[in-house]
Amino acid sequence: MASISDLVQNTLKAGYLTIEAEEQLRKLLGTQYNLEDLNAFVTLQEAAMTGQVKQESRERLIRNNPGKRSTCHSFCHYTNIRQY
C-alpha cells in the first residue's frame, strides 16, 4: 500500500482526488504514519479547500443533491488525526 505522502503527491499532480484514493487515505490515517505524511495530508486538505484539487466524492454529492450547497468537504471526517 502506498504512503500518505505518495497518495498526496499523485493527487496533487492530477488535481483530482478519486473516491478510491480518499478511501485509501482513510485507511492509512488509521495506521501509524510519520510527520511527513501528516504534513502531506494537511497540504492536500488546503489544496481541496482552495479548489486546487477537485474531489470526486464532493462532485457526486453536489450532482446528486442539486440546489443544496455542501459546506463540509469530505475531509471533515478527518478531524481526529493522531500522530504516532
Over residues 31-68, the pLDDT tens digits come to 999 999 999 999 999 999 999 999 999 999 989 987 76
Domain of residue 60: give its range. 4-78
Number of domains in the chain: 1
Query: Would the pLDDT of 83 be above 70?
Result: no
When pLDDT is averaged across residues 68-77 and rounded to a whole number, the result is 52
pTM: 0.75
In a domain, residue 62? The reply is yes
In a domain, residue 33? The reply is yes
Contacts of 45 (CB under 8 A, 6+ apart): 73, 75, 78
In a domain, residue 68? The reply is yes
Residue whose C-alpha cell is 503527491:
9
Query: Would the pLDDT of 70 be above 70?
Result: no
In a domain, residue 15? The reply is yes
Helices (H), the chain: 4-14, 19-29, 35-49, 56-64
